[in-house]
Chains A and B, each alone.
Chain A
């Protein structure tokens, strides 16, 4: 029984992390048409960054966390202005730029922090729960924050002026421009949100699980899976597919050994992709 609860919690937490990551990636993809291949690097950098702030510089957790996210968002705005905007979505050049950015970030952290496995110290020590069924207090905090964040995004996209503009841009960029929507503003917001969400996911991962030098690459593949299955142009699909990936990567490791999880998950994704290459919830 305990393993079942443990698995369910694992699935939920991973789903939240994946959905947040995927949402960030989708913002940049849907609004700018850019596959941000540096997304994994931001995820990893925020995780390690927060670790540095908490474990080395001894900031309290509830200061380090927002700080990390804000820095990531600021980086997003800068990257959009100087690395994305000049190329206007030229796939080849954007790809080069993203890989360059990712290499710089990952190398920097590898050089300064080495390749040991680390973990961000807990925000809230100890465990909570009922009777013998205990769960990390951090996990509950992360879950609540995650839900609040995601609800906030749904509200933002669905009911705010910026959100409406974003939806317009997603569907028809030129048409939106003709309506007076300033694309540069939307682009900046999209990247700020995108990078910021990656940071949130990174901190969650670092606190609830651990930090490894390859976490960026590993998560990037999962995000690509997520976004492609959900369908380009979709935000809603991220929730469903993120949940699916959470189930796959949260539950399967309980019954299968290491390599088999990746193998089974990737075969499933491939099969789904062959059935419906344009994704299940996208616009096209």
Chain B
């Protein structure tokens, strides 16, 4: 038992060290980056890391919630509407956005909470579609299909946005992490594996699933509100099906089975292509190629790479050694 504890301890500290290192690098980056465009990209990355991670956290409970983009939209429009029409301060609009997304998301999740996989996915797909359509028909109030402009900015310089959003990302990820690796997360995973067994030990499936959606949609809505204050616009196009598909791709490419999967996915699909900006109109080909490579070689996403390598190594050493991996990544 002691050696197992030791390796877990070492793994934990390596993990913390690695994350700490990345944070230090992120904190120093604005000083090194010449162009504010790169800072812009990183700001967007921070936002989408949280949105994608929330999607993934919800998926732990077995729910493939394709309304994710719409939750972001609810947060964004709630904050945007209050900012543009009521001139409320961002101190109010941003929390409001998060809360609005949570409330609406939880209420709408109710009729779908007992559905299985593909029916849940399709149900939430159309749920998201309906929400986006609602924004589009809002006429002058919501700015129709073009969007609502004039959302009050938060700061004057991009660097300020950068550090504040970095802070939001860190806190959000910490919360999502805690959610997943505590008893709450275990309960979510239990419901995902067998709702029958879960019920027999007193776990109410519907409550747990709605809890997962509520938690995830809170952070997604928060990011939506931040996004709208940053760009100054709340438009349906940013939150529609295409946006959600991208979120799903970030998660799948990075690895849906790992907490850091979404973050890795964003690095690969958002940040790496920036180095190939010269491709311009041909850039989508790069995305497609990345998707195909991952699909063919790394079904568990890039986060699954270490396990794959370890598996190959142990296959070469001893034959068919069953590695009982007690903890998730």
Q: Do chains A and B touch in the complex (CB under 8 A)?
A: yes
A contacts, CB < 8 Å to B:
86-87, 90-93, 95-97, 99-101, 103-104, 106-107, 110-111, 217, 221, 224-225, 228, 232, 258-260, 262-263, 266-267, 269-270, 273-274, 277-278
A111 & B282 in contact (Cβ 8 Å cutoff) = yes
B130-160 CB mask vs A (1 if < 8 Å, else 0) is: 1001101100000011000000000000000
Distance in angstroms from A105 CB to nearest chain B CB is 9
B288-307 CB mask vs A (1 if < 8 Å, else 0) is: 11011011100100000000
B123 & A273 in contact (Cβ 8 Å cutoff) = yes
A263 & B133 in contact (Cβ 8 Å cutoff) = yes
Distance between Cα atoms of A190 and B63 in the complex (Å) = 30
A263 & B137 in contact (Cβ 8 Å cutoff) = yes
Distance in angstroms from A11 CB to nearest chain B CB is 21
Distance between Cα atoms of A158 and B295 in the complex (Å) = 36
Q: Is the interface of A mostly helix, strand, loop or mixed?
A: helix
Instruction: Provide a sorted-by-A list of 20 A–B residue pairs whose CB atoms are within 8 angstroms.
Output: A92-B252, A93-B299, A96-B294, A100-B289, A101-B288, A103-B287, A104-B288, A106-B284, A110-B281, A111-B281, A228-B126, A259-B145, A262-B133, A263-B134, A263-B137, A270-B126, A273-B123, A274-B111, A277-B112, A277-B115
Partner of A224, one of B122, B134, B136, B248: B122
Distance between Cα atoms of A273 and B119 in the complex (Å) = 9
B295 & A93 in contact (Cβ 8 Å cutoff) = yes
Distance between Cα atoms of A15 and B126 in the complex (Å) = 20
B118-130 CB mask vs A (1 if < 8 Å, else 0) is: 1100110111011
B242 & A217 in contact (Cβ 8 Å cutoff) = yes
Residues in chain A near residue B284, CB distance under 8 A: 103-104, 106-107
List the B residue with the shortest CB-CB distance to A275.
B111
Residues in chain A near residue B119, CB distance under 8 A: 228, 277-278
List the A residue with the shortest CB-CB distance to B120.
A277
Distance between Cα atoms of A270 and B132 in the complex (Å) = 13
For the complex of A and B, the 4 pairs showing the least CB-CB separation, nearest first, are: A100-B291, A263-B133, A100-B288, A107-B284
Interface range, B side: 35 or more
Partner of A107, one of B123, B134, B241, B281: B281
Partner of A260, one of B111, B137, B241, B296: B137
Distance between Cα atoms of A110 and B285 in the complex (Å) = 12
Residues in chain A near residue B127, CB distance under 8 A: 270
A259 & B256 in contact (Cβ 8 Å cutoff) = no
Distance between Cα atoms of A100 and B296 in the complex (Å) = 12
Given contacts A225-B126, A263-B133, contact A104 B285 (CB under 8 A): yes
Distance between Cα atoms of A212 and B283 in the complex (Å) = 21
Distance between Cα atoms of A111 and B281 in the complex (Å) = 7
A221 & B241 in contact (Cβ 8 Å cutoff) = yes
Distance in angstroms from A93 CB to nearest chain B CB is 5
Q: Which of B250-304 contact A (CB under 8 A)?
A: 252-253, 256, 281-282, 284-285, 287-289, 291-292, 294-296, 299
Residues in chain A near residue B115, CB distance under 8 A: 277
List the B residue with the shortest CB-CB distance to A33.
B118
List the A residue with the shortest CB-CB distance to B290.
A100
Apart from A90-B299, A96-B292, A97-B291, list 6 A-B contacts with CB within 8 A: A96-B294, A103-B288, A259-B133, A266-B126, A270-B126, A277-B123
Partner of B130, one of A260, A270, A278: A270
Distance between Cα atoms of A260 and B284 in the complex (Å) = 32
Distance in angstroms from A283 CB to nearest chain B CB is 13
Distance between Cα atoms of A91 and B123 in the complex (Å) = 17
Residues in chain B near residue A228, CB distance under 8 A: 119, 122, 126
Distance between Cα atoms of A111 and B299 in the complex (Å) = 30
Partner of B285, one of A107, A274, A278: A107
